[in-house]
Structures are given as structure tokens and as C-alpha cells.
Amino acid sequence: MPELRKDPIIGRWVIISTERGKRPYDFKKVEEPAENPAECPFCAGREDSTPPEILALRSQGEPNGPGWQVRVIPSISPFLKRDAELWRKGIGLFDLIGARGSHEVVIETPQHIANMADLDSSQIEAVFSAYIQRTKELEKDEAIKYVLIFKNYGYKAGGSKIRHSRSQIIATPVNLKRVKEELEGARRYYDYHERCIFCDIIRQELEDGRRVVLEEDGIVAITPFAPRFPFEVWILPKKHRPDFSRIDEEEKKNLAVVLKKILTKLKSLLNDPPYNYVFHTAPFRREHKGYWTTIEDDYHWNIEIIPRLTQVAGFEWGTGFYICPVPSEEAAKYLREEK
Amino acid sequence: MPELRRDPITGRWVIVNKETPFTPKDFEVVHDEFKGEENCPFCYGHEHMTPPEIEAIRPEGSAANTEGWKVRVVPNKFPALKIEGELDKRGEGVYDKSRGIGAHEVIIDSPHHYKGLSELEEEEIQFVIDTYLSRSLDLRKDRRFRYILIFKNFGSIAGSSLEHGHSQLIALPMVPKNVREELKGAARYIGYHERCIFCDIISQERGSRERIIFQNRYFIAFCPLFGRFPFEVWIIPVNHNCDFGLMSQEEKPYLASILKQTMGRIKEVLDNPPYNYIIHTCPVNIIEMPSGYHWHIEIMPKLNRIAGFEWGSGFYVVQTPPEEAAKYLRKELSV
């Protein structure tokens, strides 16, 4: 019997389709377009083939030369720009504003490695440091409301033909719809229960155990109760904190170890699938209209990882109602057993 | 300069690339290779390859599950939801769940294996619309259902697994999230302005004409200013009506005609792209009709890969401004 499940945070229903029940090896290997590593503009030694760097973590060398560990550059085709004016206008009933913001690329390694799963956890830790430094810097711009950190790995997940491991940072002058929904859901729960819904989910999942992939040094990885996609994974810190950018050194180190383990499991279980990850964190808190004061207590940052194994069809777009062919309990079981 | 635009109904922001807009040629359109009619369960003579039909438009005297039909409705062979049983809503700590009750049907648009919607005669498209209406009216008699979703996936990229033209219908026991958001946005607007937001959009679009592609007596086809996808097109009835199922007889031939024109033009200008269309309509079996809502069809050509950014943020990047997309679709700009 198929089952309907509701995401307790944003209220989205998904269908867990047992009829279409799939196992990891039922998903076809996704082919990647051919690439020529010799043309990669992101490798060490080719710094002049990118726009000048915004930030680099380096122990040696000059800016825009080799010697870096992680390097952040502006996107070549930015959606949003630092120097754009934040004008606002209405045309009849429509609202328009200038595309002020930032669009940056984080080059995660000087070597030509495609999948973050293959980086050392210390390298992943350095990537997190770059995320945090950039977020704190962008927070100083009062026009920016949110910083979104995400990764597109593989062509089907929106990556380019050049496979050098990297992620993106987008700073926006508006609050994003998806983030708003999460915040509103979390606040609704907090208003009634005076507890953080994410803390409650973590507690319930650890007691139940069926959807836990791993728990290590204060970091928990679960397959969500109401997943949109097969083998979707959430990584949550047990320590309640609304902002990713405020984590301490210890958490950063533990998080890198867990993220590497999860990405490695997905890689070996699902034949190196394309995937996206997205950091969900609280918006910058400044006094403005609609501001609320409980974010500190009700929101909890987390990472969402989505392997891209299925096509999203008209049904999903039209309704925000997803059909997932793998129950999360089974996905968690496969992932627990995988190395 | 790029521009951010807000959907006045749901509040979603999109980024519009106005600096280096993509032309139809800049998108990489993936075409499927035809597998042929031989093993197609939707062709004449293969009626036994599907579950028994639920209904069909067929000449008088022709028996069910035989050839001769114009449009045929069958249960989905791999249904996402099951028709029998009770919902049995349950809680599990912070979580809610229920059994997967619903209907999942396939509407075979025509007996022609190779014809897309725009290649059907207007009369044949009217049969498809008649079938949509008849299924919508029939399924709402089941009081367990709250929403009837009618949609079409064309091409494997858009989620279609069979090449013979077909649409799908899913009847759900609850109102899906996006629909709830649309209803909420529309209610907010009518609460303040005492006007339907969709009617206001129609009159604004008809005033400027910038984004209109086709119009006839009862419908307009236009690229919404705040569309999420390049070359997204909406077809909307000019007369206010929240419920697709209650469309008038008079409107039907006009819908068939504008649908044929629009789908034909998308096919021509964008080189037969994969696409989805979805009929957005109000819920069924609810106590109060949402007065500020207005049914319409959203057509989304699948031209780019949706990446992590869009998933995580609900914030979309539109590579062709709708004003330019409309010019291409009106053929004022050549490809």
C-alpha cells in the first residue's frame, strides 16, 4: 500500500510509492559528458583563466597564483552583482527590483578531483572555512538578506562539463521562498510547543533509529520521514544553532568527517550519482518589517543532500507533491550498510 | 542589468537575465528517438495491453476495449495511489501520515502514435478536453477527494515514459501545497482589492500586449512576467471562473483552438521541446468556493536543467525575459 507522508516543517505531502519500490541498483548509471582536464580553468597554475579571486586560503604564494588550498572567485556569468543598484519599482501589480547580490564559485581543491567525496576531510573543513568567511563578509552588506551555499555535482544536477570539484555561494537581496516556508513552519511549531522542531525531529529519529544513517560526535545524518527524492539525506547538528556560519572549530571538523562519509556512501551505493547539496541556514537578522525575534530559538541549520536519480515531472511541478519510489527507512538501511 | 521579479500570487522571486538573454537556439533540446507502434499499449488493436478502460469516446455501438475510439481513459498500470480503502490518518510523534488513497489515470489523447497535441485536428483536441471535463466531474463525486490534477508530460526529460501522446490525471485526498499557496495569495489579494488577481493580470497584459502570444474570444495565451521557466506560457480564460470542470460549452472550441495554436508555435520555435503542462484549478468537495481564484493552464517547456540553487531556494533564473519569449512565439523575432 502506498503511503502519504507530510513534512512536518513546511507541510509538503509526499507519496511513498511501495508499488514502484526501487532498490539502489534499479537506478541507471548516469552518463557524464566527456571533459578535457587539460582545459580546466580551476586547477592550480591556471589562476589567470578565472576572474581575480575574492578569497583564497593559502599558506604560500601570491594572490591569483598557485599555493592555495581553497579559492573563491566571482562567477563568470553572475545572476546577481555586488555593484548593482537595489532599485525598486512596480509595474501595475507587479514588483521588480535590481539584481544586487553576489554570485561566487568556491573551488574546493587545487587538484582536478570531481567528487567532494574524494577530498580529505581536512580539505572539506577548509571549504567550510571559506563558506563561513564569505558569509560573514557578505553579511556586512545591508542590502543582502540571505546567503545560499549549494553544490551541483554532475551534469544532470546542473553541473558543467568541467568536473573540477566546486560549490557556489549566492547572496540575495530578498528572502527566498523555500527558506521563508521553513522559517514559518519552524515558528508555527515553536509558538505552540516552545521547542525547536528540528531538535524534536533529531530526538525522535535517534530514539526510533530506522531512518538514522549515522550519528557521530554531535552530528546526525538521517533520511527524512517525507523525502521528495530517493536517498535524500539530511545532516543536522545536535547542538541547536540557527546559523551555519556560527559553528565552532570542533563542529566544523566533525561535520567535514560526516559529510565525507555520507558522500562516499552515496557514491559507492548509487554508482557515483549526480547530486545537489544545499545549506539551510537562517537569514541575516536585522531590524526590518516582518522581522521576528524567535529565530534564535526556533530555527536550526542543516544540510540537505539530494541524489538526482529520477526525473521531476509535471505532477511534481504543478503541485509541490512528490512521488518517492524508495521509503526512507529502506534508504537509511542501505546507506548504513554501505561503507 | 538583470532584474528580480516577484510573482504577485505566491510571492516567489525570479531572476530575469536581461543582459544576455538566451534565444531559442541557445537551449540544448533533447529529442527522443521513436520506438514505434509495435509494442505501444496505446495504439489501436493493443487495447488488451492496458488495464480495462474507465471511459472512452467511441462511435455508437463500438464495444469497450476495442479499437475505433477517439480518446481512451485507462487506470495507470503503475499507480502512485490506490483507489480502494480509507485514508486512515495517523500521527507518529511529530509526523503525520495516511494511506495512499487516490486515483491515477492515463488519458490517451488520440489513436495516432506519432502525433503531438498540436498536430491533432481542433475537433480531436476538443475530445481530449471533453474527456478531461468528464473525468473531473466524475471523480469529484467521490467525497474522499479534494483535488483533481490534470497534466501532461511530453518527452523523457519531462518525465514521460511512453511516446504515444497522453495526459494524466491524479485525484488526491488533500489539497497540494502549491495549490494552497496560490489560493492563499489569491485570497489575500481579493480580500484587500475586492478583485480577482488573475482578472487583474489579464487586463494588465491585454493593456500592454507585450507578453501576449494569441488571443481569441474567450482565452489569452501569454508569457507571464514572473514565469519560472524560459518560454513558460499560460493559457487563461478571460471570463472569471475558478473551476476548470465548470467551463462552458461555448468556451470549449476556443480552448481547443488556442491550445493547438500555442502548442504548435512552441513546437515550431523551440524545435519540438519536451514540456509539461498542468491545469491549475480550485479544489473539489470543499465548503466554500475560492472566489479570488481563476483556473488556467501553465505550459513549461523543459529547456534547462534545474540545479541545486532552484531546489534549495525556490528562486529561479530565467534566461529569456518573457517579453522576448513572447516576441519569438509571435514570430516577430526570428530564431
Helix (H) or strand (E) holding A156: none
Range of lowest pLDDT (A7-16, A110-119, A202-211, B156-165):
A7-16
Whether the CB-CB separation of A162 and A42 falls below 8 Å is answered with yes
Give the max Cα distance, chain A: 62
pLDDT at residue A312 is higher than 90:
no
Angle between helices A177-193 and A197-208 (to 10 degrees): 80
Contacts of A3 in chain B (CB under 8 A): 97-100
- B204 in contact with chain A, both atoms CB, cutoff 8 A: yes
Half-sphere exposure of B41 (CA within 13 A, CB side): 16
Cell 543532500 sits at which residue? A305
Helix (H) or strand (E) holding A207: helix A197-208
Instruction: Report d(CA A299, CA A290) in Å as an integer.
Output: 16
- B1 in contact with chain A, both atoms CB, cutoff 8 A: yes
Question: B226, A204: Cβ pair inside 8 Å?
Answer: no
A3-337 CATH choice from 1.10.540.10, 3.30.428.10, 3.30.460.20, 3.40.30.10: 3.30.428.10
pLDDT given for residue A22 in this prediction: 74
Mean pLDDT of B36-64: 95
What is the pLDDT confidence band of residue A19, given thresholds at 50, 70 and 90? low
Q: Considering Cα of A290, then A291, then A292, then A296, what sign does the dihedral take?
A: positive
Distance from CA of A127 to the nearest CA of B (A): 18
Please, which residues have CB within 8 angstroms of residue B131's CB and are 6 or more apart in sequence? B55, B57, B71, B73, B107
Q: What is the pLDDT of chain A when averaged over all its residues? A: 91
Contacts of A174 in chain B (CB under 8 A): 4, 6, 13, 315
Domain spans, chain A: 3-337
Summarised one tens digit per residue, pLDDT across range B228-241 is 899 999 999 999 99
CA angle, B205 as apex, B201 and B210 as ends, to 5°? 150
Class of domain B3-330: alpha beta
- B226 in contact with chain A, both atoms CB, cutoff 8 A: yes
pTM, 2 dp: 0.91
ipTM field: 0.85
Partner-chain residue, chosen from B11, B177, B306, that has the shortest CB–CB distance to A320: B177
- Closest to B33 (Cα-Cα) out of B143, B120, B114: B114
pLDDT at residue B49 is higher than 80:
yes
Distance from CA of A134 to the nearest CA of B (A): 17
Partner-chain residue, chosen from B81, B179, B307, that has the shortest CB–CB distance to A158: B307
Mean pLDDT of A132-156: 94
Beta-bridge mates of residue A171: A102, A147
To probe the interface with B, which of A16, A82, A93 has the most B CB atoms within 10 Å?
A93
Contacts of B205 in chain A (CB under 8 A): none
Q: In whole angstroms, how far apart are CA A203 and each of A10, A156, A214, A219?
A: 19, 35, 14, 12
- B196 in contact with chain A, both atoms CB, cutoff 8 A: no
- B156 in contact with chain A, both atoms CB, cutoff 8 A: yes
Whether the CB-CB separation of B293 and B284 falls below 8 Å is answered with no
Domain spans, chain B: 3-330
Question: Which residue spans within chain A are E strands per DSSP?
Answer: 3-6, 13-16, 55-58, 68-74, 88-91, 94-98, 102-107, 146-153, 166-172, 212-216, 219-222, 233-237, 275-280, 302-307, 322-324
Summarised one tens digit per residue, pLDDT across range B289-311 is 778 999 999 999 988 776 666 76
Whether the CB-CB separation of B242 and B289 falls below 8 Å is answered with yes
> Could you tell me the end-to-end alpha-carbon distance of chain A, in angstroms, rounded to an integer?
31
Angle between helices A328-337 and A249-269 (to 10 degrees): 100
- B4 in contact with chain A, both atoms CB, cutoff 8 A: yes
To probe the interface with A, which of B150, B153, B177 has the most A CB atoms within 10 Å?
B177
